[in-house]
Amino acid sequence: MRNGHRLLRTLAASLTVALLAAACSSSGGGGSTGGTKNRKVPNVPMAKSLGAGEGEVNLVAWAGYVEDGSDDKKIDWVTPFTKQTGCKVNVKIGNTSDEMVQLMRSGQYDGVSASGDATLRLIYGGDVAPVNTSLVPNYKTISSFLKNGNWNSVNGQMYGIPHGWGANLLMWDPSKVSGNLDSWSAVFDDAGKYKGKVTAYDSPIYIADAALYLMKTKPDLKIKDPYSLTSKQLDAAVALLKKQKANLSEYWSDFSKEAQSFESGTSEVGTSWQIIANTINGAGKTTVKTTLPKEGATGWSDTWMISSKAQHPNCTYKWMDWITSPDVNAQVAEYFGEAPAQTKACSHTADKNFCTTYHALDANYAKQIHYWTTPQKQCVDGSGNDCTDYSTWTRKWQEIKG
């Protein structure tokens, strides 16, 4: 054992010395390199025609997008797909956009239901291929305001098929919060009123919510787009979020935790999704209200993309067409609680008012939503190349959480 001690001590000592030397001799800075020049999209070939299915397809998806009846016997749009096309569907659930990017980088998957804060990373990383929309017949009737967005296309070339969208809403418990809220000030400037009862989304992308609020309330900051922030604008958003933290009950990142947080009375007001509100109101422990505040909101628009290394491209194309077909898109949208991308889906929903509730065909409502987009050095709104990128946002987010 004596030898063991010596070994340990030597190990500890050498590790310490090596690290100190490394830390002291550093040239400083470090971290990221490059990125200021205009970046080219990697040249990935696009499918020209489709052949027979390969018998299988491997997908990465948000929970609730690829249901084969194993969660709920009545919820199944995978089995009919397999029956019709002969493509067996294997799905891997991604919990966050970041996880999805990681999974797609592994090259083991054919397709992904990517949100806008993942799409550009995948496109510029060469992990996904451009999509030949003429091979997806259902693409024609997708809502036009979802086509050629700056989160799903580059230079007019679509990189996927829009699937569904929704807004991050302001939610509150009317039994504890009086009046009808109509502004995000409830979670920012006026958050002190609900001290210790405010909840916020636990992701660097939530910085955009603060930026959107500042865009409407502090015009002298000249924020034009909540995802294109100069370092000065980013600092202002970060300062707002640090102030907000003092009033928070907790951060949430998963669905069930947010629901439990409101049901138990831990949180009374904060950002949420329509599906979470539906879940809480459905369970009946407490009732919550939601609104799209007057400042507008951040939100998501999900796109089915195909991997540049897809082993089963034909089945993936068949899946993209299947999931955006009117009947299936209606089922997914109702199950997940978001607006369907397919305009014809609205006549197939079980709840005839569904598309009205979710403003599915309302281009003006959709315009108020600033879809999650990956912040980049080269500003995503095209205003220049002095913006802050996602890794800077992540560092700032860790700084906010302290």
Query: Which stretch, 30-38, 57-65, 149-157, 164-172, contacts another protein (CB under 8 A)?
Result: 30-38
- 350 part of the interface to another protein, by CB under 8 A: no
Sequential DSSP letters for 213-272: HHHHH-GGG----TT---HHHHHHHHHHHHHHHTTEEEEE-SHHHHHHHHHTTS--EEEE
| Assigned token pair, 178 | 């009086």
Is there a contact between 56 and 312 (Cβ–Cβ < 8 Å)?
yes
Contact with another protein (CB under 8 A) among 166, 204, 293, 313: 204
Query: Which stretch, 66-74, 92-100, 134-142, 187-195, contacts another protein (CB under 8 A)?
Result: 92-100
Here's the x/- map for another protein, 373-402, by CB under 8 A: it reads as ---xxx----------xxx--xx-xxx-xx
Beta bridge partners of 128: 307
Q: How far is the CB of 64 from another protein (least distance, A)?
A: 20
Is there a contact between 63 and 93 (Cβ–Cβ < 8 Å)?
yes
Q: How far is the CB of 188 from another protein (least distance, A)?
A: 17
Q: How far is the CB of 71 from another protein (least distance, A)?
A: 18
Total residue length of the chain = 402
- 30 part of the interface to another protein, by CB under 8 A: yes
Q: For residues 267 and 191, what is the distance between their CA atoms, to the nearest angstrom?
A: 12
- For residue 247, what are the contacts with CB-CB under 8 A and spacing of at least 6? 191, 192, 194, 195, 196, 197, 198
CB-nearer residue toward another protein: 161 or 400? 400
Q: How far is the CB of 258 from another protein (least distance, A)?
A: 11
Residue 364 burial by CB count (10 A; 0-12/13-18/19+): exposed, middle or buried? Answer: exposed
CB-nearer residue toward another protein: 141 or 266? 266
Binding-residue total with another protein (CB under 8 A): 61
CB-nearer residue toward another protein: 121 or 309? 121
Query: Which stretch, 32-40, 180-188, 221-229, 302-310, contacts another protein (CB under 8 A)?
Result: 32-40
Q: How far is the CB of 387 from another protein (least distance, A)?
A: 11
- For residue 50, what are the contacts with CB-CB under 8 A and spacing of at least 6? 135, 314, 317, 318
Query: Which of 65, 267, 282 lies closest to 166, judged by CA?
Result: 65
- 107 part of the interface to another protein, by CB under 8 A: no
Is there a contact between 234 and 392 (Cβ–Cβ < 8 Å)?
yes
Q: How far is the CB of 107 from another protein (least distance, A)?
A: 13
Q: For residues 35 and 143, what is the distance between their CA atoms, to the nearest angstrom?
A: 33
Question: First CA to last CA across the chain, in angstroms?
Answer: 41
Here's the x/- map for another protein, 355-374, by CB under 8 A: it reads as --------------------
CB-nearer residue toward another protein: 84 or 102? 102
Q: Beta strand pairing status for 111-114 and 56-61?
A: parallel
Residue 193: HSE in the Cβ half-sphere, 13 Å Cα cutoff: 14
Site for another protein in 123-162 (CB under 8 A): 124-126
CB-nearer residue toward another protein: 141 or 385? 385
Site for another protein in 257-296 (CB under 8 A): 257, 260, 264-266
Q: How far is the CB of 98 from another protein (least distance, A)?
A: 5
Contact with another protein (CB under 8 A) among 3, 26, 180, 364: 26
From residue 12, how far is each of 3, 4, 176 by CA, in Å? 14, 12, 55
- For residue 343, what are the contacts with CB-CB under 8 A and spacing of at least 6? 141, 142, 143, 360, 361
- For residue 74, what are the contacts with CB-CB under 8 A and spacing of at least 6? none
Which residues contribute to the site for another protein (CB under 8 A)?
1, 4-5, 8-9, 11-12, 15-16, 19, 22-23, 25-35, 39, 96, 98-99, 101-102, 121, 124-126, 202-204, 245, 248-253, 257, 260, 264-266, 376-378, 389-391, 394-395, 397-399, 401-402
